[in-house]
Structure 1
Amino acid sequence: MHPAIDDLEPLRALGWPDDPTAREALAAAAGVRLARVASQHRTAYDVALGPEELRRVQPPMPWTRPRFPPDQRAAVGDWVTLDATGKTIVDLLPRRSVLKRGAAGEHHRQQLIAANVDHVLVVVGLDQDFNPRRIERYLVLIRASGASPVLVLTKADQCEIVDDCVDLLAEVAESGVPIHPVNAKDPASAAVLHPYLGPGRTVVLVGSSGAGKSTLTNTLLGRQKMKTNAVRANDSRGRHTTTARVLMPLPQGGCLIDTPGMREVKLSGDEDVVESFDDIERLAADCRFRDCAHLGEPGCAVRAAIEEGELDEARFANFAKLRDELEAAATSQAERKAEARVLEKTPGKRIKDKYGRR
C-alpha cells in the first residue's frame, strides 16, 4: 500500500516539492503516510505530518544496528513514510540534497547535518568569529551537498569595518556566493534573507556557537522560540544554545533547520576542493608542468601570482590543506567500504575479530 499522492496539502507548508520527480518517488515507496523528519533523538524521531502536527516515531529495525550505514538512516529534513499505525518509519525517500561533514574526532566517519535543503546559510559573526579560511571550508562542504551556499554576516550593527570584511571575501563573492551583512536582531535587516525562505523552500543554518544562529532564527520566526546566550567578550565564543537540529515552518512560507554550533568542520571525503578554489585552478592551468605542486617549481603560475600579490598566500595554504585532508578522508572512506563488504560476505569474521574466536 502506498501513500495517497493527492492528500499532501498539509505537507506543502513543510517544503514538499510536489513535482513529477517527488511524486514518482512517493509512488514507489512503501508505507501509507508521508511525513518529514523534524528532529532526531537517540532511539526515535519526531516527524511532522503538517505545520502544527508532530509525532514521535520509531526507526525501522535495520537502522538500529551498529554497522548500518549512517547515510542510509534518516536525517532532519528527510521525507519518510510511516506504517498503518503511524508509529514506525517504513521507507526513506530519495534526497534532493544532503549536507554532511566528517564526524568530530580522529576517525573518518560521516555525520549527516540536514537533507532536502535548498540553501545553506553560513552564519558568521563580524567579531572574532570572522575567519575567511573557515568560511572557505564551509563552502567546500556545501557545494558537495547539492544545496546552494549563502553567507550571512551577523552583528553588522556592532562592526565598524563591515565593508573591509566583505572585501576580504572577494573570491567568495566572485564565485557567485551571495553575502549579506545583517543585524540578526532587527527584522528589517534580516528581511534581506526572505527571498530564500519562500513557500516550498528549506534552509539550514550552520556556523559557530555565538555567531547568532538562534537570534536570527527567532527574528525570522517573529517570536522567541530558540534560547539565546551572550558570548564571551574575550574570544566571542558562545555556549551551545541550540543542542539539536530541528526543522521549523516559517511565516515566510518555507522551513528552517537550526543546528548546534560547529567547533570542527571536517571534510567527509565526498567533496571537490577545486570547485571552491577555481581561481587557483585557473592559475594552475598556466604552470609549465602539468603535475606542478606549486611548491617552487620553475614556471609555476600559482607561486608567481602569490609573489605578485594577485593571490593571497593564506588562501592557497588553505587550499593545499583542504586538498590533503580530502585525500585522507576519501582514502579512509574507501577502506571502510571495503571492510564493510568483507564483513557482509563473511559474517562469522565479525565475531572472530571481536572475541578472537568463532
Structure 2
Amino acid sequence: MKLSEYGITNQTATTGLTLARVTALSHQQYTLVCDAGQFFAQVTGRIVNMAMDATDFPTVGDWVQVRLPQNAQDLATIERICNRQSVFLRKVAGRRFNAQLVAANVDWVLSCMALDANFNLRRLERYLAVANASGAQPAVVLTKADTTSTLINQVEAVKAITDAPVIVCDTSAAGIDTLATFIMPGMTYAFLGSSGVGKTTLINRLLGTQAYATNAVRISDNHGRHTTTARQLLRLPSGGIVIDTPGMRELGLLEADVTTTFSDIQALAVGCRFKDCTHTNEPGCAVQAAVGDGELNADRLTSYQQLIAEQATNNQLRGKARENEKINRMFGSKKLMKQKMKAARHKRG
C-alpha cells in the first residue's frame, strides 16, 4: 500500500510523525492509510480540547500526521491535520447551526441528480453553490437516464443553469463508461446527492463489484433510504479515487458561492440602476426586467434570493454558536463568565 495511490501531492510530515490519509469515518472512528498499511485511529486530546466545531476535526479525504502504534492492532493517534486544499461543508441537519464536514481535499465534486420524479433544478442549484465554494471543481452527474422520457429537455435545463460538465449515465455498461472516462487516475471525486439518486450503484459499477448494498427507492415519492451510513474513500481499479457519502435529505448552506452559481443573474445586475439592488421592487432593476421579458426564469431568481438570505442567516447563527462554544470552554457557561467578570470589576473597585 503506497500513498502515491491515494492522490498524494506535496504533503509532508514532521519528524516522528507519519503522513496518512483518512479513508473512512463513522462515529468518530477513523480509518486511515499510510505507507505502513491501514490503521484505525483516534484524535489526540489536544485536537479535542482546541476544537470549536466539527470543522476542527479530521474528515474523509483529510491528510493527517499520525503517531503509529508499536502494535499494528492498536489505535494510531492523529496529532495534526494538514492544510486542506478543498473542503465541502454544510450545516448540520435540523435546527442547529453547527457545521458538518462532508469531505476534504477533493479535486471534483460530483453533484448527482436522478432523472426520475426526484429531478429538481432548484435542489441542484443548492448543491452547485456549495460545490463552487468548496475549492474543488464542480460537475453534474445525471443518473437513471433510462427512467425518463424527456431526457433531452432535462439535460438542456441543467446546462442552462451551469457551465459545469454534465455527465449523463444509467446502469448500463455504456452509461457507466461515460462516467468512468471522466474519472482520472490519482484524482479524488466526491459523490454527493439526495438519498436514492444512485450514488452507491454507480460506485459499485465503477469498482466492478457489488461491494456496497443498495436500497430500493420508494415508489410513492422516488426517494431512497440511506444506503451509505459512513463516509468512505475508495480506490477504483482505474486508479481514480472516489468518496461515497450518505444521501442528504437537506443541504443547509454555510459556505456557498452563490455569485458563481448564478453568474447569469450577476451579469444582468450590472445593468441595474442601483448598485445595491436586491432585485425585488427597486426601479430600474435589470434583473426584474429580464424576468418580465422571459429572459430569466422567475423561479431561478427566487432560488438565488433565497440562497443568499439562507447563507447569511446560517453564517450569523453559526458565528454565535462558535462564540458560545468559546465561552463555554473558557468559563464553563455564559452565567459563569458574567459572574467572573462581575467579581473582577468588584476587585478592581
Same fold (TM over 0.5): yes
What is the RMSD of the two structures over their aligned residues, measured on CA atoms?
2.5
Indicate which of 67, 85, 95 corresponds to 1:96. Answer: 85
Q: In 1, distance between residues paired with 2:339 and 2:127? A: 41
Change (3 A) 1:348 1:125: closer
Indicate which of 299, 311, 319 corresponds to 1:334. Answer: 319
SS of aligned partner of 1:54: strand
Indicate which of 248, 256, 268 corresponds to 1:283. Answer: 268
Q: In 2, distance between residues paired with 1:124 and 1:355? A: 53
Please name the residue that 1:313 is paired with: 298
1:254 maps onto 2:243 in alignment: no
- Whether contact under 8 Å (1:274, 1:281) holds in the other structure is yes
Please name the residue that 1:128 is paired with: 117
Please name the residue that 1:150 is paired with: 139
Counterpart residue identity of residue 70, structure 1: A
Scaled by the length of structure 1, what TM-score is found?
Answer: 0.87
1:201 maps onto 2:187 in alignment: yes
1:11 maps onto 2:3 in alignment: yes
Counterpart residue identity of residue 61, structure 1: G
Report the Cα offset of residue 195 of structure 1. Answer: 4.3
User: Unaligned 5+ residue runs, structure 1?
Assistant: 1-8
Scaled by the length of structure 2, what TM-score is found?
Answer: 0.89
Q: In 1, distance between residues paired with 2:28 and 2:242? A: 23
SS of aligned partner of 1:101: strand
Please name the residue that 1:180 is paired with: 167
Between 1:291-300 and 1:322-331, the stretch displaced more is 291-300
Report the Cα offset of residue 65 of structure 1. Answer: 4.5
Indicate which of 51, 55, 58 corresponds to 1:71. Answer: 55
Report the Cα offset of residue 348 of structure 1. Answer: 5.3
Between 1:149-158 and 1:38-47, the stretch displaced more is 38-47
Q: How big is each residue's C-alpha offset from its partner over 1:126-178, in whole Å with a ceiling of 9 and x where there is no partner?
A: 111110000000011011110111111111122111111012123334xx201
Change (3 A) 1:204 1:31: farther
Report the Cα offset of residue 190 of structure 1. Answer: 1.6
Please name the residue that 2:200 is paired with: 214
Q: In 2, distance between residues paired with 1:247 and 1:309? A: 44
SS of aligned partner of 2:2: helix
- Whether contact under 8 Å (1:186, 1:219) holds in the other structure is no
Report the Cα offset of residue 351 of structure 1. Answer: 7.7
SS of aligned partner of 1:111: strand
- Whether contact under 8 Å (1:31, 1:81) holds in the other structure is no
Q: In 2, distance between residues paired with 1:193 and 1:354? A: 58
Please name the residue that 2:130 is paired with: 141
Counterpart residue identity of residue 167, structure 2: H
